[in-house]
Amino acid sequence: MLGEVKLQVKLMDRMGTDLTVVNAARVSFAKESEWESIPEGGEIEGLLSHGDEKLIKYLAKHNHWSPFGHCSMQFHIKAPIFVARQLVKHQVGLVWNEVSRRYVDDEPEFYVPKAWRLKAENKKQGSSDEAIEYNLGSTLEFVKTTYQNMLKAGIAPEMARMVLPQNLYTEWFWSGTLMAFARVCNLRCKSDTQWETQLVAGMIDIQAKEKFPASWKALRDD
């Protein structure tokens, strides 16, 4: 249904583990836990005891969010501007630094679906499962050529970028707490989210689950 999708979500860095969450909670009682066992292979740091797993579930169920704030992740993401503008609305517990076309004037790269989803009949926003082919013709080539000609004419990149559309790919670094990214995924992995935005949230979801299996399971709605 879609053209070549060049969305990228790469985990660049992270701080903490499930055990970090446990010990952030247990410090209230001057207690500290250790891994129940450490598996061979190094895919995960260790396995929690049954009691520590129950504690994480309790914290999430009863809205004790602060222990989850001691763990964080940083992602490098590449996606169309319209996806970025949906995701940047999430502000609490997150920080964002994006490529700026005030400074960067490399060749524009565009996201183009193979088929275009139709408007949903009973919704003010969103799309249906039906799609049609629609040929943009030379529209994007015209845009790209116009942009490049403006730069050649000496027009500042911060002005020339005004002709670039929302399907232009952009890149950004996105960092935040485990709790903050769980809120993003709880909202943006839902079926009523725009499909392209779901893809990005889904890739965050997969990587967070790998690094924080117990905490992520407790924080996610599904």
> Is pLDDT above 80 for 211?
yes
Known catalytic membership, residue 220: no
Domain boundaries, the chain: 8-16+71-219
Q: How confident is the model at residue 40 (pLDDT cuts 50, 70, 90)?
A: confident
Find the range with the poorest average confidence among 2-11, 70-79, 179-188.
2-11
Burial of 4 (0-12, 13-18, 19+ CB in 10 A): exposed
* Structure tokens belonging to residue 191: 């079926």
pLDDT recorded at residue 124: 73
> Beta partners for 131?
117
Instruction: Report, at the CATH architecture level, how domain 8-16+71-219 is classified.
Output: 2-Layer Sandwich (3.30)
End-to-end CA distance of the chain: 26
Please identify which of the residues 14, 85, 188, 220 carries the catalytic annotation.
188
pLDDT recorded at residue 43: 62
The stretch 31-47 carries a mean pLDDT of 83
CA distance 208 to 193: 20
The stretch 93-101 carries a mean pLDDT of 97
> Is pLDDT above 90 for 8?
yes
Question: Above pLDDT 70, what percent of the chain?
Answer: 96
pTM of the model: 0.92
> Is pLDDT above 50 for 169?
yes
